[in-house]
């Protein structure tokens, strides 16, 4: 088998996205199986030869998160022991990404731990999309390709039209991330004044920095989890006299009360990507899902061929 043979495998978390990637690459999905024994232990088998191959394993983070992460680590180990030439973990939504700093006494930095687990398991490279904080890239001792869905979102809203719109950042820490989307759309941007207390999932929005009165809003975040912060932001925007509100994010976690909250919001549209599988019960009438299949496939192709990734975003 030639050393440069490309093989793409899928874990059990998002086989639909893996199928899209393989369709774009015009290659069959690699043969593998994964299941749990009666004692709850996970078993993974690679059912084809990967000796000296360039292997890509796609596994995103979604419930049950720990099962998906453990399955990925075992999958990597199986490929390493089968003498794969290079192993790349393709993780659209990185697990534990929000645990990225020690902001309280005696707490872990779990994102760093996960990066080390991937290295120890045998991964040679990681591909991921829109990390919660860019400094997470520094946790890795192996190469990391940090992609963004920002261009997918910009392309969608350009088609809808950008007249009389403002891009809104969820907090000051996201200002640089959202400013780049505003630049792509040639629009001004505003910032939510937001505070988070302790370990609470929800942060409190206290005001809007910037002019939003009479403007339609494109709110953009890396993820929407319980939608509590979004609920506060939409309320503030309406109080400030904003027009239509479009919410968008890369990772539609939509956990707990998120769906019920969003149903009650005066949202024109919720635009997300398929970095995480979205079950039918979460498919809201005003939900639009943008595919990341071509982005991931093109990245895999470029990594395999040793070409520039940054050129994708110019």
114 exposure class (CB count in 10 Å sphere: 0-12, 13-18, 19+)? buried
Question: Exactly one of 180, 194, 238, 264 is catalytic; which is it?
Answer: 194
For the chain, what is the HEC assignment?
CCCCCEEEEECCCCHHHHHHHHHHHCCCCCCEEEEECCCCCEEEEECCCCECCEEEEECCCCCCHHHHHHHHHHHHHHHHHCCECEEEEEECCCCCCCCCCCCCCCCCCHHHHHHHHHHHHCCCEEEEECCCCHHHHHHCCCCEEEECCHHHHHHHHHHHCCCCEEEEECCHHHHHHHHHHHHHHCCCEEEEEEECCCCCCCCEEEEEECCCCCCEEEEEEEEECCCHHHHHHHHHHHHCCCCCEEEEEEEECCCCCHHHHHHHCCCCEEEEECCCCCCHHHCCCCEEEECCHHHHHHHHHHHHHCCCCHHHHC
The answer to whether residues 237 and 214 touch, using CB atoms and an 8 Å cutoff, is: no
194 as an active site residue: the answer is: yes
Encode 23-51: b = buried (16+ Cβ within 10 Å), e = exposed: ebbebebbebebeeeeeeebebebeeebe
Rounded to an integer, what distance in angstroms lies between the CA atom of residue 275 and that of residue 128?
10
Active site residue ranges: 194
């Amino acid at each position: 088998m030639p050393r440069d043979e490309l093989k793409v495998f899928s874990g059990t978390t998002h086989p639909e996205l893996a199928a899209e990637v393989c369709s774009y690459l015009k290659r069959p999905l690699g043969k593998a199986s994964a299941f749990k024994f009666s004692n709850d232990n996970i078993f993974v088998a690679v059912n084809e030869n990967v000796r000296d191959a360039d292997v890509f394993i796609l596994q995103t983070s979604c419930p049950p998160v720990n099962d998906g992460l453990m399955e990925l680590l075992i999958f990597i180990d199986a490929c390493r022991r089968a003498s794969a030439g290079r192993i790349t973990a393709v993780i659209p939504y990185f697990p534990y990404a929000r645990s990225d700093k020690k902001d309280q006494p005696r707490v872990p930095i779990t994102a760093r731990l996960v990066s080390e687990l991937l290295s120890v398991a045998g991964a040679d490279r990681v591909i991921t999309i829109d990390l919660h904080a860019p400094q997470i890239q520094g946790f890795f001792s192996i190469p990391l390709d940090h992609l963004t869905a920002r261009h997918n979102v910009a392309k969608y809203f350009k088609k809808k039209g950008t007249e009389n719109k403002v891009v809104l950042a969820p907090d000051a820490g996201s200002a640089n991330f959202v400013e780049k989307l505003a630049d792509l759309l040639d629009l001004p941007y505003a910032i939510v004044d937001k505070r988070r207390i302790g370990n609470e999932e929800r942060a409190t929005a206290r005001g809007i920095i910037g002019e939003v009165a009479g403007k339609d809003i494109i709110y953009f975040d890396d993820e929407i989890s319980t939608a509590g912060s979004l609920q506060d932001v939409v309320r503030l925007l309406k109080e400030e006299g904003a027009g239509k509100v479009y919410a968008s994010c890369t990772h539609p976690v939509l956990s707990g009360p998120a769906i019920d909250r969003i149903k009650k919001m005066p949202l024109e549209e919720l635009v997300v990507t398929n970095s995480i599988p979205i079950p039918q019960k979460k498919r809201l009438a005003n939900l639009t899902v943008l595919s990341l299949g071509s982005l991931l496939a093109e990245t895999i192709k470029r990594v395999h061929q040793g070409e520039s990734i940054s050129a994708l975003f110019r």
